[in-house]
Amino acid sequence: MPESLTLIQVALPVPLYRRFDYLASQPLPPVGCRVLVPFGRQQLVGIVVAHPAESELALSKLKPVSRQLDASALFPPALWKLLLWAADYYHHPLGEVLHHALPVLLRQGEAAERKPIACWQLSDHATHDVIATLKRAPRQQQAIQLLQDGPLPAAELREQGVDTPVLKQLAAKELIKPFDLHLQAREWLDHLLLHENDAPYLNTEQAAVLAAINHADDKRPFLLEGVTGSGKTEIYLQLIKAMLAQGKQVLVLVPEIGLTPQLLRRFRRRFHAPILTLHSGMNDRERLDTWLACKAGEAAILIGTRSAIFTPFKTLGLIVVDEEHDSSFKQQEGFRYHGRDLAIMRAQREQIPIVLGSATPSLESLHNALQGRYHHLQMTQRAGGAQAAQQHLLDVKHLPLQAGMAPQLLQLMDEQLAAGNQVMLFLNRRGYAPALLCHDCGWVAACPHCDAFYTWHQQDRRLHCHHCDDMRPVPHQCPECNSRNLVSSGVGTEQLAQFLEQRFPAYKTIRIDRDNTRRKGELEAHLNAIRHQEYQILLGTQMLAKGHHFPHVTLVGILDVDGALFASDFRATERLAQLYVQVAGRAGRASKSGMVVLQSHHPEHALLQDLLNNGYHHFARTCLQERQVLALPPFTYQAVLRADAPAREPLELFMQQAAQICHHYGAPDLQLLGPLSPVMERRAGRYRMLLMLQCPHRMHLQHYLQQLLPAIDNLPIHHSLRWHLDVDPLEV
Ligand code: ADP
Ligand code: ZN
Ligand code: ZN
């Protein structure tokens, strides 16, 4: 080894738990920097994680790094520590965790240098008179409306459904102009105008909550449990204002950006400071620039989805997690982290406050609050003065249902539509029908790759497996008996929409599900049309429930409650209750109360009764008691080992060996379930099995996993087999 070369340890983006030693010359690349290193026949971007004194390998075997990519660490210390902790806690290879935390361009070795952010703003020509001429161009009008609150990054306009051609048309009319935003570090502080006049006076509940947060004398997280419309967002805005005034940055995590345009507008109206967003609709360059702008302290507020938790900040002062119960905070593949949980750990490491807000807190957070681990703040009154919705539990047993709808519900629709109101219906099954079957012999069209039936999509004339995405044309006759008598079984959104169009020909129906919101901006365009009352009947899956406020909706129907009541997933009732409360909270407005109708064959179901009679708050506590009796989370901690393979034999062998390792370890408070097959044993052509590890103490479970995993990792496995560990799984 040449004398000038010294050891460094590098984490590489490979699915291996070990780290790799390389040689580098003095001065050594600091910990947290990227280096390009030879790995086999490739060159990989790795991150320096240590400067060890010695290596297990002979130094003569080690290779020198090819290139140092950064002069200093990419992650500030608190974030760096969080990532190391996360790799340990989720038992995921550090190289993959660090890689995941970086914007794609940095993973690819791009320089961590920022380009100006492409933005648009209104020009002086955009007067009221000129804007009025755009009536026939709704997209252009929408763009102007968005820009009336101030300039916006091109990426965000795209996310709101305004694409480049629309912007070009407006630019050609000289109504808007592009400019490059060169943010200067914390320049915003100098002309930070807070639009105070927009802020309402806080009501008593809000004032009490704000005071409690401001005067808390410990660092526990705050759980803000406030009914929809109680003014939680207003609390966030007030807290953020105080942070900005101190020159500190704020991170706001939301479940989905595309679904929160109203929230963004409110933030922009309130603060004259750079507000950036981070979401899936951005290209790699935009993501990197946003990341760097936050790191340099140039952005005041970042609003983003779960991965925004990995953004570095210069002076982070506060984290807000809105709709903290939302399961989209959990990453369901690769590095399976929970964005809310990481946010809590990050706030702890940064020594800053964190507020979790929801009308329907997750049972995990509620449990923490009831145990005193979080501050528990509650708001029970609607701030804007809207009345709470009435609720009806409709027993549909023996009723003649049409497309799954009871006559009473149809009649209520008649009344509300005639009165000029909108009606919203929920059905969590997209497609025409969940199955296609032969009326003569009973054959059902099943996916050959999964233990599941095909969904029938009539509009596209195809069968679609929602589990593996396999598609094929609808057969003309039964492959078993050649009968042409093929019929649908069950009702999906497509069929319901068809029925509603026939039943209510005088009104326009719109369907909102994943099938007709695939294209960028499509969803936002639909939502706008709904707000402008172009449609009277809104029908959709859960998607329609998230975050939207439609003031003209006075009747909401939830059509299939029973599925959730009897699901094998113990979290299904919690989710149903959350959906119900979210929806109920949005029906009606100040002048008119709304009505929510739940259709069920089991109206006597205890949880349903509790939810309706006593509200979410009470329901959640009942649920918690039930979970305690059954020793389920949050009273116990879980990790699930999942594996899959194209054939059963190697899978069963691996799972048995893994289970043996766990049994052999035999900790008294470690409970094992399985190995067992999930309800859908085969998916996308692969057999699946799982082993559930459960323990009443989080630290113990962590300790056991630390002991067990290396042994499991060492098992000889068939090349076709894949396995992973999911800590705190949301699904089994
Ligand atoms: P949440 O986030 O809990 O759903 P919001 O903060 O969005 O509630 O408030 C609901 C509505 O009430 C909004 O239209 C908001 O502008 C209004 N609002 C909030 N706080 C007040 C207040 N103190 N006085 C008057 N209106 C308020
Ligand atoms: Zn048949
Ligand atoms: Zn399939």
Q: What pLDDT does residue 589 have?
A: 59
Q: 394: phi > 0 → left, psi -120 to 50 → alpha, else beta; which?
A: beta
Whole-angstrom CA distances from 720 to 332, 334, 648, 654, 678 are: 21, 17, 11, 12, 19
What's the average model confidence in pLDDT over 624-634? Answer: 93
Q: How far is the CA of 376 from the centre of ligand 1 (A)?
A: 20
User: β-pairing, 354-358 with 316-322?
Assistant: parallel
Question: Residue 718 has what pLDDT?
Answer: 86
- Contact (CB, 8 A) for 546 and 424: no
Average pLDDT, the chain: 88
Please say whether the beta carbons of 536 and 423 come within 8 A.
Answer: yes
Could you say which ligand is closest to the alpha carbon of residue 382?
1
Q: What is the pTM of this model?
A: 0.88
Q: Smallest Cα–Cα separation from 434: which of 464, 476, 414, 459?
A: 464
Q: Which token pair is 338?
A: 């929970």
554 — alpha (psi -120 to 50), left (phi > 0) or beta?
Answer: alpha
Nearest ligand for residue 379 CA: 1
CA–CA distance from 54 to each of 6, 9, 66, 68, 236 (Å)? 9, 10, 20, 21, 50
Asked if CATH classification 3.40.50.970 holds for the domain at 637-727, the reply, yes or no, is no
Ligand nearest to the CA of 228: 1
Looking at residue 371, its pLDDT comes to: 94
Tokens of 229: 């419309």
pLDDT of residue 666: 73
- Residues with Cβ within 8 Å of residue 615, at least 6 apart in sequence: none
CA 259/CA 544 separation, integer angstroms: 9
The predicted pLDDT at position 270 comes to 86
Q: What is the tens place of the pLDDT at every residue in 652-707?
A: 999 999 999 998 887 888 999 989 998 889 999 999 999 999 999 999 999 999 99
How remote is the CA of residue 470 from the centroid of ligand 3, in Å? 6
pLDDT category of residue 143 using cuts at 50, 70 and 90: confident
Determine the CATH number of domain 5-108: 3.40.1440.60
Distance CA 12, CA 95 (A): 4
Q: Residues within 5 Å of ion ligand 2 by Cβ?
A: 438, 440-441, 443, 478, 480-481, 483
pLDDT above 70: percentage of residues in the chain: 95
Nearest to 436 by CA among 403, 464, 460, 405: 464
Helix (H) or strand (E) run with residue 284 in it? helix 284-295
Percent of the chain with pLDDT over 90: 55
> Residue 235 CA: which ligand 1 atom is closest?
6
What value, to the nearest 5°, has the Cα angle with vertex 635 and ends 631 and 641?
75
417 CA → ligand 3 middle, Å: 40
Residue 481 marked as a ligand binder: yes
HEC string of 214-234 equals: HHCCCCCCEEEEECCCCCHHH
pLDDT at 498: 92
pLDDT at 49 over 90: yes
SS3 state of residue 640: strand
Q: Which of 198, 234, 270 to mutate to test the pocket of ligand 1 (most atoms within 8 A of CB)?
A: 234
**CA atoms 278, 281, 287, 293: torsion sign:** negative
Instruction: Measure the CA–CA gap between 151 and 310, rounded to whole angstroms.
Output: 26
Of 158, 363, 432, the closest CA to residue 277 belongs to 158
> Residue 158: what pLDDT?
80
Q: How confident is the model at residue 260 (pLDDT cuts 50, 70, 90)?
A: low
Tell how strand 422-426 and strand 537-540 pair up.
parallel
Local structure of residue 126 (DSSP, 8 states): -
Going from the Cα of 413 to the center of ligand 3, the distance in angstroms, rounded, reads 37
682: CA distance to ligand 3 center in Å?
Answer: 9
348 has a pLDDT exceeding 90: yes
Residue spans of beta strands (DSSP E) within 199-288? 222-226, 249-253, 271-272, 275-278
Residue spans per domain, the chain: 5-108, 117-181, 187-379, 390-432+489-627, 637-727
Ligand whose nearest atom lies closest to the CA of 450 = 3
Q: pLDDT at position 184, please?
A: 63
Distance in angstroms (rounded) separating the CA atoms of residues 412 and 5: 79
- Helix/strand/coil for 382: coil
CA–CA gap between residue 422 and residue 427 (Å, rounded): 17
ipTM of the complex: 0.96
CATH H-level, domain 187-379: superfamily: P-loop containing nucleotide triphosphate hydrolases (3.40.50.300)
Query: CB-side exposure of 690: number of CA atoms within 13 Å?
Result: 20
pLDDT tens string 184-196: 655 665 555 555 5
Tell which one of 225, 228, 232, 233 to mutate to probe ligand 1, the residue whose CB is within 8 A of the most ligand atoms.
Answer: 233
5-108 and 637-727, same CATH topology: no
The DSSP bridge partners found for residue 177 are: 121
Instruction: Tell me: pLDDT of 590 over 60.
Output: no
Atom of ligand 1 at shortest range from CA of 203: 23
For the stretch 516-539, pLDDT in tens is: 777 767 777 888 888 888 999 999
Residue 193 tokens, joined: 């105008």
**Distance separating alpha carbons of residues 533 and 552, to the nearest angstrom:** 8
* Helix 138-147 with 522-531: angle, nearest 10 deg: 90
447 is in an annotated binding site: yes
Residue corresponding to tokens 């996310």: 159
Mean pLDDT (whole number) for 708-717: 90
Residue 100 CA to residue 78 CA, distance in Å, equals 17
Give the Cα separation of 663 and 554 in Å (integer).
56
The alpha carbon of 229 and the centre of ligand 1 are apart by a number of angstroms equal to 6
Alpha helix locations (H) across 592-715?
606-629, 648-665, 698-713
**Angle (nearest 5°) at CA 155 between 146 and 331:** 115
Tokens standing for residue 553: 């909706």
Q: Compute, in angstroms, the gap from residue 487 CA to the centroid of ligand 2.
A: 10
For 630-660, the pLDDT digits (tens) are: 999 999 999 999 999 999 999 999 999 999 9
Distance 658 CA to ligand 1 centre (A): 52
The whole-number pLDDT of residue 2 equals 52
Handedness of CA 21, 27, 32, 35 (dihedral sign): negative
Ligand 1 atom 21, closest CA: 383
Class level of CATH domain 390-432+489-627: alpha beta
Ligand 1 shell residues, CB under 6 Å: 200-203, 206, 226, 228-234, 383-384
Mean pLDDT, residues 59-80 taken together: 92
Tell me, what amino acid is at 477?
Q
Please compute, for residue 435, the number of CA atoms within 13 A of its CA located in the half-sphere on the CB side. 13
Of 123 and 478, which is predicted with more confidence?
478
* Ligand 1 atom 5, closest CA: 231
Q: How far is CA 694 from CA 69, 285, 671, in A?
A: 43, 42, 5
Instruction: Tell me the angle at which helices 232-245 and 261-270 cross, rounded to the nearest 10 degrees.
Output: 40
Region 111-131 average pLDDT: 80
Q: Check whether 623 is labelled as a binding-site residue.
A: no
Taking a 5 Å cut-off on Cβ, the residues next to ion ligand 3 are 447, 449-450, 465, 467-468, 470
Token pair for 433: 């029908």
Ligand nearest to the CA of 479: 2
| Overall residue count recorded for the chain in this entry | 732
More confidently predicted of 674 and 384? 674
